[in-house]
Amino acid sequence: MTVILNVVGVIFILIALILINKMSNNEKEIYESIIMMHKDIKYYSATVENIMNDFEELIDTSLAKLSVLEKKELNKAVSITEVETNLNKSENKEAIISDQIGKTKNDEMNSNNISRSIIQLKKEGLSTEEIAKKLNKSVREIEIILKIWSKVYKGDM
């Protein structure tokens, strides 16, 4: 009888060891799954950080462009004041007004023409460096204009 009890005890011990081994394997699989998730989270975190850095850079360039536009508007206001002063002093008032208006319109048209030229050259397949060289502009300026216009046209370029 003790032999039977010993055999039954050994069988239960073997069953317990098998169950413990299965649970251990399940825990290893869960642990490996958690490690993979952790790696994915790290990757997504780095991607989001890169996107945020690009977004901050875009904001900085947009603010710089806005600052330039504000300075141009301030210069226009100063020009208008100068025109008014000159009108009071000058006998040839119409010539002064048309000259100042012509300069302002030419500046605005040149800015629009440059942007259009950049977009057209990009559509023709030229690289940013080639466009910069052709238009005698900096590569960074071309990149900024293309980035701004790509947002406006939403990928039509």
Q: Which pLDDT score, from 0 to 100, does residue 43 have?
A: 94
Q: What is the mean pLDDT of the chain?
A: 80
- pLDDT tens across 68-107, in order? 887 777 777 666 666 666 555 555 555 555 555 555 555 5
Q: CB under 8 Å to 139, separation ≥6 — which residues?
A: 128, 129, 132
Domain extents for the chain? 1-89, 92-157
Q: Which pLDDT score, from 0 to 100, does residue 75 have?
A: 74
The predicted model gives 22-46 an average pLDDT of 93
Asked if residue 13 has pLDDT above 90, the reply is yes
Predicted TM-score of the model (pTM): 0.36
Q: Work out the percent of the chain whose per-residue pLDDT is above 90.
A: 35
